[in-house]
Amino acid sequence: MIDREGSKINLTAKEFDLLYFLSSHKGQVFTKEQIYENVWGYDNAPDASNLSSFIRKLRLKIEPQPDNPRYIITVWGVGYKFSGEEKP
């Protein structure tokens, strides 16, 4: 469970692990393979759509505007990063 602006948000264990991993490396871009290795313990990514689904669900829970994320950012052609910075 995390707190977002005074509201408690329930996360699954894997959602929490994913958020913790990305937020612990703020600003660093990770490939999908690196995320799978560090969060799931897989040596190679089984299915990119699985990770995309986790990212989408996590954004729906933590982002004020999930379709315009400010925390979990997609770096096209590379992977994802945690920004945490306010967008103008």
Tell me the whole-structure pTM to 2 decimals. Answer: 0.84
- Whether domain 2-82 has CATH 2.60.40.10: the reply is no
Q: Region 10-25: what's the mean pLDDT?
A: 95
- Tell which residue, 74, 67, 33, has the closest CA to residue 50: 33
Phi, psi of 20 (to 5 degrees): -60, -45
% of the chain residues with pLDDT over 70: 85
Q: Taking a C-beta distance cutoff of 8 angstroms, is the pair 37, 43 a contact?
A: yes
Q: Region 73-82: what's the mean pLDDT?
A: 96
19-42 pLDDT per residue, tens: 999 999 999 999 999 999 999 987
What's the confidence (pLDDT) of residue 4?
A: 63
SS3 content of the chain, % helix, strand, coil (to 5): 40, 20, 40
Residue 14, Cα to own-chain centre: how many angstroms? Answer: 10
Alpha carbon distance 42, 80 (integer Å)? 17
- Given a cut of 70, whether residue 68 has pLDDT beyond it is yes
Residue ranges per structural domain of the chain? 2-82
